[in-house]
Amino acid sequence: LKLKFRIWTRESLMDQIDFALYAGPKVLNYFAEKFDYPFPLPKQDMLAVPDFGPGAMENWGLVTYRETALLYKSPKLGGVARCFSVIDKLRVARIIAHELAHQWFGNLVTMLWWDSVWLNEGFADFIGFLGTQHILQEWPNVLEQQFIFEQIQMAMAKDQEPQSPPIHRSSTQTDLFTYFDYITYKKGASIIRMLEYVMKNDFWVGLKIYFKTMAEMNAREEDLWAAFDKAVMESESPSVGWDSNKFNVSLFMDSWVNAAGFPVVAVNRVNGSHVQLSQSRFIVNLTEDNATNVPTNVSQQWYIPLWYRTCTNKGITSLLWLQPNSTVILAIEDDCWVMFNSEVRSFARLHYDDATWQRLLSGWSSDILSIERSQLISDAFNLALIGSVNYSRALELVQRLPDEVDAVPWKSAFIGLNYLHDMLFTHPGGHLFFEYVQKILNSAYKTDLWNNIEVDDFKLSVFSGKIVEEACGWNVTSCRDVAVEKFKEFMEDCQLSDDGSSSCSKVPALARRRVYCTGIEQKHTTDFERLWHLCNHESIAIEKENLLYGLSCCDDSDLLLRLLNASLQLDKPCIRRQDVGTLFKFLGNNPVARKIMWQHMKSRWSDYIKKKLKQPLKTMTMEAVRTFNTAAELEELNQFVNEIDGYDNKQLFNNAVKMVEINVHWRNSYAESVIDFVQQALLRP
């Protein structure tokens, strides 16, 4: 690749550009070869901006980034480089790959209008993951695990809401920011990944046709489908669809792109040797309170490709198609397990009946991949969320976690467990649930995990960091004792520093947020003041975020109000304009802070509007009310919504109200059954 490639940053951070200078040209060349279309400009600059709201922006030839999105230094080099972890390396590689994928998807070919923005963002997310794997070849299979959790499961969590929009939006929307959401990015990427699995080589041939045909033009979905269809028609071994004929891309993609939601596939034994598959739309509880908001396409159906394995062909993945308004009957031996949605290739949840589920559990540890276990855990929690299965199914999987050595199943489990914790926090039996999770973590936590956090083995480092994070966060005594001791050492090491903590902290990078948080939870005001001082003098952006996270764990109302007021004043380096939304996300993890944030938001709403902090205000709103789950709290929210004026985005309030309605319904419907289960589990050794 013959072009000028440069990185720009503050002079004091020039020692952190080497990785970007390696990753950028490497992935740009990879894309040029993959698409058979060279990068057409004579130069590519990438610029790290100290205060940059968007995170990154794919300007053609001059990509701009937040410093946390572009700068990285190997921790092996010591000193300030110890701020960086394997997660930071992965994040920087991913964002660089995403933005440089935009040089083709977005810049070379641009969508005709904003309603098709997923052609930019969904493809940049999917192609960006492939580019990241090319950059980080020393970590094989890591990106596949990350994709399942960060793309598919996060997209499903949004897409299962009744008000979820389709990928292709209405062209009449006036608030263009609403297009840039998980549906556009993460669901878009997930559907593209599924399409690539179906089309195989035809997919890549189709993209080459697309770029050659549409270069320096504006495109709609139909232009891409035409390129894919042309690739299939001209292929010597064309991809095959549900009817055994050549794959019809436009018909397949129509429901996935133009309709909201996604399917759940029901798997039921019809006799000892067969299972029957059927589909329906997966939607989170539609209660009587919000029945008027039932989506119009509740009966939506899809063409679903389902890859599967059985106990008799463990290493062979077969494909079947589930067509709209039809069922499939498949022969499976009576005592044999069957794993549908192998490698989580399809954007669908699976609902196994009890008999099929019990057979599947027999191969849980030996035959089911970690990404599949992760998705099955996610499916179980979400099926319980809508009442399709009992919570015992999900919680019994949680009890298998102490034997789990991959981080991804743990991450999926704690998405579900944290929601239950939030819903049960004020419940009279909430302490029993807390003790139940502590018991699980006590079985998994080992002190020597701290030694593995800084290793260069991605899976081991992230797994160790995840267990430490959760064990300390859920007050496992042996973990918190270590964290408190490390915080004391940190305060001693940094007591004389006037340059922030990056030059003096010896805490492992992946554990810094939890250690700083645990230290601040010890309620010493002088520690808060010291962390505040370090945060305001820190020059490394990722370390500043670590310190801000620690500050957010305070439970002193006056100190929390100081943080919230600083988000309006914007006169302290610790909280720049770009950091306001991040602060609100951090405070959302703190039950004391959520209450104060709610009152602060109501009294200072107009001030945030005047400061042009509309996007962070959305974050604060959702974080402040996301654990509301009583009729009184719902009434309080509705009263605020009815009183507020001068704000033009009613969709935010609709989303907040619907979220709380679902929470109220959950507490009324499921709280007692969860408490009963954990109470019995605690009685067992």
**The domain that contains 10 carries what CATH number?**
1.10.390.10
Length of the chain: 685
Measure the CA–CA gap between 120 and 70, rounded to whole angstroms: 21
Measure the CA–CA gap between 304 and 74, rounded to whole angstroms: 43
Q: How far is CA 480 from the centre of its chain?
A: 27
Whole-Å CA distances, 618 to 56, 415, 615, 622? 20, 21, 5, 6
User: Quick one: pLDDT at residue 495?
Assistant: 92
Contact (Cβ atoms closer than 8 angstroms) between residue 283 and residue 162: yes
Helical spans, DSSP H, in 626-649: 631-643
Last residue of a domain, one of 223, 238, 253: 238
Residues of the chain with pLDDT under 70: 1, 172-175, 286-296, 645-649
Which pair of structure tokens corresponds to residue 616? 């962070």
Measure the CA–CA gap between 66 and 88, rounded to whole angstroms: 13
Outline where DSSP puts E strands in 14-163: 43-49, 56-57, 62-66, 109-111
Rg (CA), the chain: 25
Select from 442, 434, 404, 432 the least CA-distant residue to 417.
Answer: 434
CA-based angle 450:453:457, to the nearest 5? Answer: 140
**Do the domain assignments include residue 571?**
no
Please write the tens of the pLDDT for every residue from 20-53.
999 999 999 999 999 999 999 999 999 999 999 8
Neighbours of 428 (CB within 10 A): 9
- Domain residues for the domain of 458 are 449-554
User: Quick one: pLDDT at residue 292?
Assistant: 43
**Do the domain assignments include residue 531?**
yes
Which pair of structure tokens corresponds to residue 10? 């503050």
> Which residues are catalytic, by number?
99
User: Quick one: pLDDT at residue 441?
Assistant: 98
Is 98 marked within a binding site?
yes
Last residue of a domain, one of 220, 238, 256: 238
Is 234 marked within a binding site?
no
Residue labelled with tokens 């641009």 = 110
Contact (Cβ atoms closer than 8 angstroms) between residue 474 and residue 420: no
User: Quick one: pLDDT at residue 279?
Assistant: 98
Contact (Cβ atoms closer than 8 angstroms) between residue 24 and residue 95: no
Contact (Cβ atoms closer than 8 angstroms) between residue 119 and residue 133: no
For the four alpha carbons of 520, 523, 525 and 526, in that order, the dihedral sign comes to negative
pTM of the model: 0.96
**Do the domain assignments include residue 81?**
yes
User: Quick one: pLDDT at residue 295?
Assistant: 59
**Do the domain assignments include residue 261?**
no
**Do the domain assignments include residue 209?**
yes
User: Quick one: pLDDT at residue 237?
Assistant: 96
User: Quick one: pLDDT at residue 334?
Assistant: 85
**Do the domain assignments include residue 634?**
no
Concatenated DSSP letters of 231-254:
HHHH-SS--B-TTSSB--HHHHHH
Please write the tens of the pLDDT for every residue from 308-332.
999 998 888 999 999 999 999 999 9
Measure the CA–CA gap between 642 and 497, rounded to whole angstroms: 49
Measure the CA–CA gap between 676 and 365, rounded to whole angstroms: 27
* Sequence-distant (≥ 6) Cβ neighbours of residue 182 within 8 angstroms: 154, 155, 157, 158, 159
User: Quick one: pLDDT at residue 430?
Assistant: 97
**Do the domain assignments include residue 367?**
no
Last residue of a domain, one of 238, 269, 284: 238
Is 134 marked within a binding site?
no
User: Quick one: pLDDT at residue 498?
Assistant: 86
Select from 277, 252, 263 the least CA-distant residue to 327.
Answer: 277
Instruction: Considering only the C-alpha atoms of the chain, give the largest distance between any 2 of them, rounded to a whole number of Å.
Output: 73
**Do the domain assignments include residue 101?**
yes
Residue labelled with tokens 């690749």 = 1
Which pair of structure tokens corresponds to residue 257? 């792109």
Select from 351, 27, 319, 337 the least CA-distant residue to 194.
Answer: 319
Question: What is the tally of structural domains in the chain?
Answer: 2
